[in-house]
Amino acid sequence: MELQLKNIGMIKEANVKIDGLTVIAGENDTGKSTVGKALFALLKARLFVLNSKLEYSATNSQYLNKIEWLFNKISKKQLLKNNTFIKIEDIEVDFSKRSARKGNRKFFDGIFIETPFIFNLYQTLSGINKANSIIDFEIEYNYLWWDLYIKLSQKAKTFSDIDFGNILFKIENITHGSFRKYDEISKDKWVFVKSSNEFEMDNVAMGIKQFAIIYALIKNGYLTKDRILIFDEPEVHLHPKWQLEMAKVIVELVKNGVKVVVNSHSPYMIEALKKYAEVENVYDKTNFYLAEDEYIKQLEDSNAVTLSKIFEKLSEPFDIFEEMESDSLEKLING
Amino acid sequence: MANIKLFLREYSSYKSSFKETSLDDNNNIYLCNDTSQEVINFDKLIENLYPNSNIRPKSFDAIFIYEKLIFLVEFKNQKPSKIDNKEVQKKLEDGKIELLKLFTQLNIQKNDYNFIYCVAYKECKEPTSRYKCGVEKGKTQFGLEKFIESSFVKKVYTENVSFFTKEFKKQFKKELMC
């Protein structure tokens, strides 16, 4: 399937295939996260409307309003414009015409992983959850975190259609421990178990938390063929060796039928995703894109050409080191 | 007290080029094809001083002299990850000791000069290799850092050949045809 975006945030146009693994690389502030946010808002707002009791035909403006509301909750930047256009399969919103189509797929949903810090926000989000059920007052929160918190803390209403036993085992091997729901006071909390000791998630390494997110999403049944996992910079807080392990886990998810969109600016992560996708025979479902100059592009419709450009850009910092070496040489020679 | 010109005169038979001194014998590849710039073929000089290879010290490939700076140049037709740290260290250590012996014989005051060790390695052309070479460079670079700390040399540069070619032009206003 293809996600089409026009005039959203700093992106003028993006046509991104989501067939298995989609990797968008680029520097900071080039709009690569906007792709995932737009996709997430489109799917999530639609679910809100579908789950409401409103008449199907009467909900188009509700859908648009919900998307606008979600964008405000997701990002404080003014991403939406008067002529924003977002489309995936038969789901489409066109703000220039104020029109919306919700499409026919029932449980089509997005999961957005932005930061492993989510486990440190658990108490706050849990508090908001409780407060919302008691008081009639809207507390400001980031919806991306909120949605992920719900998915980490509560089981999905339907079971996953995939057996992920292998991936859980892999994550346990990487982290040398396992994760389980803390079942005393708050049943929504997770703990890390290592050598019979239990550690609160606030107190474990960020890298462990990053793997814990995948583990908890699997255990709670959210990773399915009908949900798109959007993973923003999965490399954060990971040593290059663990970046490779994370890439392996991501490719394994794809192999099992989960559609994953990854944003990255790590050469280790990008190369590992490419190599593991080849090893696991999912490279034909893998697409690489470069976020640059207001466009998300696949150069010459080729992964190879795009990857070459991505690595050229990722190597640019070494030019600065070379300039520094050059300066020191100049000092030596000219005194 | 003599100066470096005496050394150059004394060992003028070892005058050579970057091309000749950058030859990778095993693969018959020149890392630099320049024949315009004069250097001393230090490997050859040591070979002749120590005909018996069993007792021959290790040595760097070339010496390039610019005023008070003495560049000790080692060419490696390898990517940084393949470079043997111990080997490039030994070449510097043994080579500089031998060079200083020659200076002493010629009554050249070593303290008048700054020694700079340059390890020039193979180009990392592919974009995917470039970041790896950039990271791997640290391995060789910092294995040699101890020689700066102990003032054995003033500075160490481990870079690919094109860096040195570019710098040669920039610093000495002369194009090397590497």
**DSSP-derived 3-state class of residue B176:** coil
Whether residues B131 and A333 touch (CB distance < 8 A) is answered with no
Q: How far is B91 from chain A (nearest CA, A)?
A: 22
Does residue A56 have a pLDDT over 70? Answer: no
Nearest CB partner across the interface for B154, out of A307, A312, A332: A332
Given a contact cutoff of 8 angstroms between Cβ atoms, the answer to whether B6 and B108 are in contact is: yes
A326 → chain B, closest CA residue: B167
Residues of A (184-213) whose Cβ lies below 8 Å from B:
none
Average pLDDT of chain A to the nearest whole number: 90
Phi, psi angle pair for A23, to nearest 5°: -120, 125
Nearest CB partner across the interface for A329, out of B128, B131, B167: B167
Percent of chain B that is helix, strand, coil (3-state, to 5): 45, 20, 30
Phi, psi angle pair for A75, to nearest 5°: -145, 135
Among A259-268, A272-281, A296-305, A326-335, the range scoring the smallest mean pLDDT is: A326-335
Given a contact cutoff of 8 angstroms between Cβ atoms, the answer to whether B64 and B165 are in contact is: no
Sheet of A190-194, strands arranged across: A178-181, A190-194, A197-200
The residue among B128, B153, B162, B172 with the most chain A CBs within 10 A of its CB, best to mutate, is B128
Written as one letter, the residue type at A101 is: R
Average pLDDT over every residue of A242-266 = 97
The tokens 């970046």 sit on which residue? A243
Written as one letter, the residue type at B11 is: Y
Written as one letter, the residue type at A203 is: N
Phi, psi angle pair for A230, to nearest 5°: -110, 115
pLDDT category at A140 given cuts 50, 70, 90 is low
Does residue A232 have a pLDDT over 80? Answer: yes
Residues of A (61-120) whose Cβ lies below 8 Å from B:
none
The rounded distance, in Å, linking the Cα atoms of A262 and A249 is 13
The rounded distance, in Å, linking the Cα atoms of A37 and A43 is 10
pTM exceeds cut of 0.80: yes
Nearest CB partner across the interface for A322, out of B69, B116, B163: B163
Helix (H) or strand (E) holding A287: strand A286-292
Nearest CB partner across the interface for A332, out of B114, B130, B159: B114
Whether residues A333 and B171 touch (CB distance < 8 A) is answered with yes
Q: Render pLDDT for A60-108 as a digit per residue (tens, 0 to 9).
A: 788 888 888 888 888 767 888 999 999 999 999 999 998 888 888 777 8
The residue among A306, A309, A333, A334 with the most chain B CBs within 10 A of its CB, best to mutate, is A333
Q: Which domains does chain A have, with CATH numbers?
A: 2-108+226-325 (3.40.50.300)
Where does residue B127 rank: exposed (0-12), middle (13-18), buried (19+ CB within 10 A)?
Answer: middle
Looking at the DSSP assignment, which residues form a beta bridge with residue B69?
B66, B114
Whether residues A314 and B131 touch (CB distance < 8 A) is answered with yes
Does residue A297 have a pLDDT over 90? Answer: yes
Q: Which residues of A touch B148 (CB under 8 A)?
A: none
Which pLDDT belongs to residue A184? Answer: 59
The token duo for A234 is 């999965």
DSSP codes of every residue in A23-71: EEEE-TTSSHHHHHHHHHHHHHHHHHHHHSSS-SGGGHHHHHHHHHHHH
pLDDT category at A228 given cuts 50, 70, 90 is very high
Looking at the DSSP assignment, which residues form a beta bridge with residue A100?
A93
Which pLDDT belongs to residue A50? Answer: 78
The rounded distance, in Å, linking the Cα atoms of A290 and B74 is 39
The rounded distance, in Å, linking the Cα atoms of A14 and A85 is 10
A315/B contact by beta carbon, under 8 A: yes
If you count them, how many residues does chain A have? 335
The rounded distance, in Å, linking the Cα atoms of B175 and A248 is 47
DSSP state of A292: E
B131 → chain A, closest CA residue: A315
Distance, C-alpha A222 to centroid of its chain:
14
Whether residues A318 and B114 touch (CB distance < 8 A) is answered with no
Whether residues B131 and A267 touch (CB distance < 8 A) is answered with yes
Looking at the DSSP assignment, which residues form a beta bridge with residue B71?
B64, B116
The rounded distance, in Å, linking the Cα atoms of A139 and A124 is 11
Whether residues B155 and A315 touch (CB distance < 8 A) is answered with no
Angle at A167 between CA A164 and CA A170, to 5 degrees: 155
Given a contact cutoff of 8 angstroms between Cβ atoms, the answer to whether A35 and A24 are in contact is: yes
Whether residues B171 and A311 touch (CB distance < 8 A) is answered with no
Residues of A (255-284) whose Cβ lies below 8 Å from B:
267, 271
Whether residues A333 and B130 touch (CB distance < 8 A) is answered with no
Higher pLDDT, A157 or B19: B19
Q: Render pLDDT for A157-214 as a digit per residue (tens, 0 to 9).
A: 888 888 898 999 999 999 999 999 876 566 678 999 999 899 999 899 999 999 999 9
Q: How far is A176 from chain B (nearest CA, A)?
A: 28
pLDDT category at A273 given cuts 50, 70, 90 is very high
First to last CA, chain A: 62
Whether residues B69 and A333 touch (CB distance < 8 A) is answered with yes
Which pLDDT belongs to residue A330? Answer: 93
Whether residues A318 and B131 touch (CB distance < 8 A) is answered with yes
